[in-house]
Structure 1
Amino acid sequence: MELHDVWFVLIAVLWIGYFFLEGFDFGVGVLTKLLARDRAEKRVLINTIGPVWDGNEVWLLTAGGATFAAFPEWYATLFSGFYLPLLIILVCLIVRGVAFEYRVKRPEENWQRNWEHAIFWTSLVPAFLWGVAFGNIVHGVKIQEVGGNLEYVGGFGDLLNPYALLGGLVTLTLFTFHGAVFTALKTVGDIRGRARALALKLGLLTAVLALGFLLWTQLDKGDGWSLAAMLVAVVCLVGAIGAIRAGREGWSFALSGVTIAAAVAMLFLALFPNVMPSSLDPAWNLTVTNASSSPYTLKIMTWCAAIATPLVLLYQSWTYWVFRKRIGTQHIAEAAH
């Protein structure tokens, strides 16, 4: 296996990690309006992800940085062609981080309510747009050779095609389901029971949308490996729904996480060896070969990743272990209500 193939796999792993971890905290952000009944319950939901949400975003930064260094042509075409949706995602992530930190800086109800609105919308919009972006990457976009370079020549409207929009609905519902299961796993009392009931409903909706999207992907771009990943995703999603119905939140969370991992893996398997196919002419496809950096650059990156990655994984695992206990409204100080 060539180094550019290795880095394609590593970037896929980084996106899997990001969607697994950020997926549930996007979901919890959406649930602040769908599940919480009062200010104390909103505080409980925010506190379940408070210690970890910023660490989860490290995976996104690493995935973006790895793409820039390992596949500069892919990075340049992606960020120029998808400029508006990626800018919207970036703004949402900035506002979302500010909202978490500033919500409790003042006691006025309007102040806190406005930041809660911000948390909801800046969780919902990226959860949807990431699916739209990856749907377009896999399905193919208008790329052609311009002045010796392969560039995106479409418009924003070209990104809003049925396949990509379905992908956005799948990531939104799947992340919200993942977040509801996480909420049931991390809370006690009445909110835990309602999170389980909502997760069951969301899981059924997600199953319908995801099955349609994954089948469409398989028929359009798939092979035997992507079919295997699709089957894993479907089986684990059904298992996650069954586990939450039985009150086994831990198993349900693990299975919903594997569902996300298998679904993202399927997209990358369907994409390979392309990194960004052209819908105009296969000769203009960006591939792991023509979009990659030099072998020397990839070699240096590999050594750096081998040293740094275990340290990051150990630290983040320790963070989750420290904040592993369940919480409820009884753990919220009266002043925070």
Structure 2
Amino acid sequence: MDLTDIWFLLIAVLWTGYFVLEGFDFGVGMLLPVLGRDDTDRRVLINTIGPVWDGNEVWLLVAGGATFAAFPLWYASLFSGFYLALLVILVALIVRGVAFEFRGKIDSVRWRRRWDVAIVFGSVVPALLWGVAFGNIVRGVPLNAEHHYTGDFFTLLNPYALLGGLTTLLVFALHGAVFLALRTTDDMRDRAKALAWPLGLVAVPVGGLFLLWTQLAYGTGWTWVAVLGAALALVAGVAAARGGREGWAFACTAVAIVATTVTLFGALYPDVLPSTTDPANSLTTTNAASTPYTLKIMTWVAVFFTPIVLLYQGWTYWVFRKRVSRAAIPRSGGLPVASREAA
């Protein structure tokens, strides 16, 4: 294994971390109008991810930066061909981040409802389009001999990629539901557990069909292990959620996302962006890579700084590990609900 293979693996790890961590963020945002019956409920939902959502997005920034540095031709072809879709994702993420920060700035029901809509928009759109994007990366896109994208926006809207988008949308919603069951109390916890069951009944067959299609059309012999692992973990997660074991349920949905991402990158390798025009035009880990010197410098930087980042993010999750309840949400005058009622 040379440095190009190592960096392909590291980029796969970064995307895996992003989908696992940001996946439940997206799920919580999507479920805001479903589980949030009043403003206090919605504040409970937002507070479960409030301390960590921006840190989870760092995985996306690092994955994009690593792709640019390690495989500049992959980055260039990808962003030129997927420009409109990636722009929509970027706008949605910006709107979502602004909504989290601005929602509580004015004490107005209309103001908060508008930002709630922005949170839902900023969660649904990326959850859907990331699946569409990776479906097209695995399937391949039309590239000419100069590795330039020759299709248009509607080329990306093919059945396989759309199924991939529907899969990520449903699995992230399920991931978010079990995360909320793990991080909330009382009625909210019960409602989140109850919602995980119908979400799982839809996510399991849709995700299973996408994984099967991926394996039969693009997979290799060993990726069957990842496909079966993802399917079993998803089923186990739904069963655990229904049985009230939300910790196991969250672990299983996380494993399912990991195994699915492994399946996609395993089916892609050694290409990084296949060409549907002519296989000779495909970008691979060899012809899309930076110079060996660049990869060597990047490797040493990763060796020193990656453990620090992981330790810091792990510490953040440990500090904010307790469940969030309605009683902890301040009302007017800054008093929590329980304190206000006692007063």
CA drift at 1:165: 0.4
Show the 5 A alignment for 1:1-337: 1-145=1-145, 149-335=146-332
CA drift at 1:238: 1.0
Distance 1:51 1:30 in 2: 18
How much is the aligned-residue C-alpha RMSD, in angstroms?
A: 0.9
Distance 2:230 2:90 in 1: 28
Counterpart residue type for residue 161 of structure 1: N
CA drift at 1:331: 1.1
Other structure's SS at 2:31 match: helix
CA drift at 1:226: 1.2
Cα distance per residue 1:187-218 (max 9 Å; x no partner): 00111101001011111111010010000000
Distance 2:41 2:117 in 1: 15
Other structure's SS at 1:202 match: helix
Q: Flag as ranges the 4+ runs of structure 1 deviating above 4 A.
A: none
Distance 1:281 1:97 in 2: 41
When the two structures are superposed, what TM-score results if normalisation uses the length of structure 2? 0.96
Distance 1:196 1:301 in 2: 43
Cα distance per residue 1:223-250 (max 9 Å; x no partner): 1221111011011111111111111101
Other structure's SS at 2:321 match: coil
Distance 2:218 2:196 in 1: 31
Cα distance per residue 1:43-78 (max 9 Å; x no partner): 000000000000000000000000000000000000
Other structure's SS at 1:290 match: coil
Greater RCO, CA 8 A, separation 6+ = 1
Other structure's SS at 1:57 match: helix
Specify every segment of 5 or more residues in structure 1 that has no aligned partner in the other structure, as ranges.
Answer: none
When the two structures are superposed, what TM-score results if normalisation uses the length of structure 1? 0.98
CA drift at 1:310: 0.2
